[in-house]
Structure 1
Amino acid sequence: MAWLKKLALVLLAIVPYATASPALSPRSREILSLEDLESEDKYVIGLKQGLSPTDLKKHLLRVSAVQYRNKNSTFEGGTGVKRTYAIGDYRAYTAVLDRDTVRQIWNDTLIDCIEREKIYTIHGNVATQEKPPWGLATLSNKKPHGFLYRYDKSAGEGTFAYVLDTGINSKHVDFEGRAYMGFSPPETEPTDINGHGTHVAGIIGGKTFGVAKKTQLIGVKVFLDDEATTSTLMEGLEWAVNDITTKGRQGRSIINMSLGGPYSQALNDAIDHIADMGILPVAAAGNKGIPATFISPASADKAMTVGAINSDWQETNFSNFGPQVNILAPGEDVLSAYVSTNTATRVLSGTSMAAPHVAGLALYLMALEEFDSTQKLTDRILQLGMKNKVVNLMTDSPNLIIHNNVK
């Protein structure tokens, strides 16, 4: 964004921001305290809906001009606006800003929220499959410890799973050539080194381990090792949404996010906007045993947020909980594909494993039925869920376990 520096010089004398510390806006107050600002930090800034390209460009110029004035001697050193994000009509950007600049832009009428960049971590016709992983058996049985997985032979055909994770080992035999890497940051290898993303993808759509056994699986790599930042998540979401919309895949795609971190209004707003575009976002509730309302993207209003149960259909002690959780799914000791070889498997536990069961079910249902909104798809999943089957539920999570409606 070299043009920002060039035009910032012109704007120095006309920047309209006041230098006094303004009062906190309601949404920003939840995210950041002005008194708690670092001398310099990386921020994610969400913008109001309906922003025109001209207004966006003017806003970015004003921010860069203020930062240039406050940090004149170090503008070349990496401060200022770093990257913008366009997720449908939602707009946000990341910037390295000093304390004075944040104070001066705090009440800009185009800004919806300002927050520090955060760190996110990874949290896993009717056919019959004999001796399936217990998680699959749960989907078509009314009691724990079932021995069969019954499912319609359509099995998610014609649908697309975008797996926001550590990547996918697309050569694994369980994917039958239906998996590929769609996006990875330039500094990373376009495959899965960690194993988490491959495991998750296997639960969504693997031949042996998957719910939707004929879906297409697209790896969207956002993790370096086992950590991601708000900006890398935004970049991955932007790529996924652009790929879905340019290929006309709305209504046939989900984005699975078996990951989580501190509450982020900017990330949640992006997730809600994605749902409004006809793309179901599925999020793991998290593994800290705390209310999911404190975690993003699990706390996004329009995400399908999934908590975990064990094979006895008890809520796991690690699963985040609360009314923000929509449904419970298998998440403890789940077998799926892995990365050490192209036939490798591994047992993992976490709400990371619960979310892809629901993502797979969503794809399975999209291949069978017509849904004109993500809300109707969500309602259908909840309608099919088995009520009051969780043993000794100790939290205020819903007593509801996923089911595919195959008798």
Structure 2
Amino acid sequence: MAAISLRRTSLALVSASALLIGAMTLAPTMATADVSQDRAQVLGIDDPDKIPGSYIVGLHSELSTTSVDQLALQYEATVSAQWSVIDGFAAQMSHAQAERLAAHPDVEFVEQDARVHIPVGVKPTPPGWNLDRIDQRYLPLDGIYDPLNNGAGVDIYILDTGIFAGHNDFGGRVGAGYDAVGGGTDDCQGHGTFIAGIAGGTHYGVAAEANLIPVRVLNCHGSGSVAGIIDGIDWIVNDASSTVIANASIGGMLNTSLNNAVDAAFAAGVFFVTGAGSSNANACNFSPASAQGAYVAAATNINDTVPPQSNWGPCVDIYAPGVNITGPGIGGPNDTITMSGGSFAAPHVAGAGAIVLHDNPGFSAADIASWLSQNCTSGVIVNPNGPDCLLYVGQD
């Protein structure tokens, strides 16, 4: 995918290992540090969305639950989650305790947990151009959407605000899913339902027969924590038995812990799609877009032009429709809304990933990424500040 060497360079500044894998193992008697004196830098303390008192601890190697509890107790920290997707855990503690814990020889880093959120933007417009665009190489639009297949049987995990399963556009294809927030997987905000509809809705979706699995990591206000998203990713990795698709149209500032989780999920067979963002900035400065294992989509409009607010740079892998997109809402079983932003390019790519996987069930996540990048349309995007690559799932 795009700019792997650049991502590795940037990640190396904040992490000695992209997947938190190291040679150090915990001795039978846990190594101890002078907790009253030894301190080390805590990552992420300048993030404007940091969550006071909440931290993510990266370990050099996996520890048992008992060992993690003992380590936390030594520094008066309270463990809130421990994961298998990365060697680490989430905990509550003071900043001083976090600095001391960061100096422990079994700890690779301690990073401030942070809020993540969904971009916002709604613009009314007639529906339909977006699907029409990705099954043909060139303009003008022909008024037809005829993809290679409909992604039947492929699982698309939606890390978002949940999914309103009662919408008629889903046709009973919404799975039970997972709730990392509390309150169930139903959508009380709307963003997740819209994303699911673009990825796999019967009428509005790229892959109209794919299975849609809600992974609720954002609350009714569209916000959540890095730890909560890692919790959702961890669940996906453990739930999936083969290659699957995941869409995370969410983001925040550069975060080592989140990037490591995405990289681990990709290695485990999760084709992980995210949006480049809409800050008119380098996408490599944000997470999860800066993760090596993320396949990053930036938005185009009906004229194949990149909107000025779109993020850009070598971390972008592909362009897809993201302006004036219509999909399902949560106001009722037939409700629709229209939205614009980098968030909405991503589910087009997630749906495309399901189409590719349907025809190639033995593909890895890397194979799906390669297929999409090799089969995209070149030479049509107006002034791209990224790859010359527009999503394509048509029948040549």
TM-score band, normalised by the shorter chain? 0.7 to 0.9
Judging changes above 3 Å, is the alpha-carbon distance between structure 1 residues 270 and 151 closer, same or farther for their aligned structure 2 residues? same
SS of alignment partner, residue 195 of structure 2 = helix
Contact 1:371-1:377 at 8 Å conserved across structures: no
Q: Where does structure 2 lack aligned partners over 5 or more consecutive residues?
A: 1-28, 121-125
Shift of 1:145: 4.3
- Does 1:86 find its partner at 2:93? no
Contact 1:271-1:302 at 8 Å conserved across structures: yes
Measure the CA separation in 2 of the matches of 1:190 and 1:31: 29
Measure the CA separation in 1 of the matches of 2:391 and 2:210: 19
CA offset digits 1:174-201 (Å, max 9, x no partner): 1111113412246324311111111111
The residue aligned with 1:360 is 351
Contact 1:165-1:257 at 8 Å conserved across structures: yes
Q: Which has more helix, going by share of residues?
A: 1
The residue aligned with 2:328 is 337
Structure 1 residue aligned with 2:393, among 375, 382, 404? Answer: 404
The residue aligned with 2:53 is 41
Judging changes above 3 Å, is the alpha-carbon distance between structure 1 residues 204 and 254 closer, same or farther for their aligned structure 2 residues? same
Instruction: Give the CA RMSD over aligned residues.
Output: 2.5
Contact 1:313-1:390 at 8 Å conserved across structures: yes
The residue aligned with 2:206 is 211
Judging changes above 3 Å, is the alpha-carbon distance between structure 1 residues 23 and 339 closer, same or farther for their aligned structure 2 residues? closer
Aligned partner letter, 1:286: G
Identity of aligned residues (%): 27
Measure the CA separation in 2 of the matches of 1:391 and 1:230: 35
The residue aligned with 2:293 is 302
Shift of 1:59: 4.3
Measure the CA separation in 2 of the matches of 1:178 and 1:304: 25
Contact 1:285-1:319 at 8 Å conserved across structures: yes
Aligned partner letter, 1:358: V
- Does 1:191 find its partner at 2:208? no
Measure the CA separation in 2 of the matches of 1:375 and 1:192: 31
The residue aligned with 2:9 is none
Structure 2 residue aligned with 1:177, among 166, 172, 176? Answer: 172
CA offset digits 1:352-402 (Å, max 9, x no partner): 110000000000000012444211211111001111211123x3x112111
The residue aligned with 2:21 is none
The residue aligned with 2:74 is 65
Runs of 4+, deviation exceeding 6 Å? none
Shift of 1:318: 1.8
Shift of 1:32: 4.6
Contact 2:271-2:365 at 8 Å conserved across structures: yes
Aligned partner letter, 1:80: T
Measure the CA separation in 2 of the matches of 1:325 and 1:230: 21
Q: Give matches, 1:8-407, under 5 Å.
A: 15-17=32-34, 19-22=36-39, 31-32=44-45, 41-48=53-60, 50-53=61-64, 57-67=66-76, 79-87=77-85, 90-123=86-119, 133-146=128-141, 147-152=143-148, 154-185=149-180, 187-225=182-220, 226-244=222-240, 248=241, 250-251=242-243, 253-393=244-384, 395=385, 397-407=386-396
TM, length-normalised to structure 1: 0.82
Aligned partner letter, 1:63: A
Measure the CA separation in 1 of the matches of 2:253 and 2:182: 25
The residue aligned with 1:7 is none
CA offset digits 1:131-171 (Å, max 9, x no partner): 9711111111112341211113x411121000001111111
Contact 1:43-1:116 at 8 Å conserved across structures: yes
SS of alignment partner, residue 358 of structure 2 = helix
Aligned length: 359
Aligned partner letter, 1:362: G
Measure the CA separation in 2 of the matches of 1:353 and 1:272: 22
TM, length-normalised to structure 2: 0.84
Measure the CA separation in 2 of the matches of 1:403 and 1:207: 19
Structure showing greater radius of gyration is 1
